[in-house]
Amino acid sequence: MTAGEGERLEAQRRKKFWGLVFALAGVGATAGFVFGFIHGAADATGEPISETARTIAAVALVIAAFGGGYFSWRFFTTVDEVEVTDNLWASLIGFYVYGFAFPTWWALSWLKAAPEPVDWIIYAVVMLSATAAYGVRKWRLR
Amino acid sequence: MNNRLRVLRAERAWSQAELGGRLGVSRQAVNAIETGKHDPSLPLAFRIARLFDMPIEEIFED
């Protein structure tokens, strides 16, 4: 291996990494945009969703699910062990937050000490916790 | 875990990115190993040892 070859390989690896990140984001954003547009249009007009729009949204979501799965698999078979460890920590923190947050909120609501659990709030808190854990690890290892 | 990675890299005048490319890991991974924030897996430790042509125990120590 000649001098500077490692830097070229590292640049190539980085390019591949960001390519996969953008592919994953693109798949999610496209499906989200299609679904959001149809959902928004249905809300605005108050009319039932046409069969065509329903089919388009369903196809977009299925493509996103398979695309997300495929690019995630490519991502985890491409990145190095530190990136995998960062993702594992983020997932673990998210899992723990869910494991504590949902039953606690549900029990409090059963005791009439809190409103009923809202799935979207729990989803957002889990995702934010996992993202924060990932960010902290990246910041420490920068 | 302490290691001599930074010294070995400096002896060859390699940047962290250069070493990362040669090992197939990111520059951040090299930095994390050098600063002791990440202990490499056994396969990666073997790759490091082979690259520097040294036994693992001469690069890493408890």
- Give the domains, in start order, of chain B with CATH numbers: 2-54 (1.10.260.40)
Residues belonging to chain A with any Cβ–Cβ distance to chain B shorter than 8 Å? 1, 3-14, 17, 79-83, 85, 138, 140-142
Give B4's pLDDT tier (boundaries 50, 70, 90). very high
Give me the residues of chain A with pLDDT under 70, please.
none
Q: Look up residue A101 and give its two tokens.
A: 């947050």
What is the predicted pLDDT for the residue at A24?
94
What is the predicted pLDDT for the residue at A33?
93
What is the predicted pLDDT for the residue at A42?
87
Model confidence over B5-56: pLDDT tens digits? Answer: 999 999 999 999 999 999 999 999 999 999 999 999 999 999 999 999 999 9
- Domain residue ranges of chain A, discontinuous segments joined by +: 1-79, 80-142
pTM: 0.85
Q: For testing the chain A interface, which of B14, B18, B52 should be mutated: the one with the most A CBs within 10 Å?
A: B18
Secondary structure (DSSP) of chain A = --TTHHHHHHHHHHHHHHHHHHHHHHHHHHHHHHHHHHHHHHHHH-PPPPHHHHHHHHHHHHHHHHHHHHHHHHHHHHS-HHHHHHHHHHHHHHHHHHHHHHHHHHHHHHTTSSPPP-HHHHHHHHHHHHHHHHHHHHHHH-
ipTM: 0.89
What is the predicted pLDDT for the residue at A104?
97
Q: Do B24 and A80 touch (CB under 8 A)?
A: yes
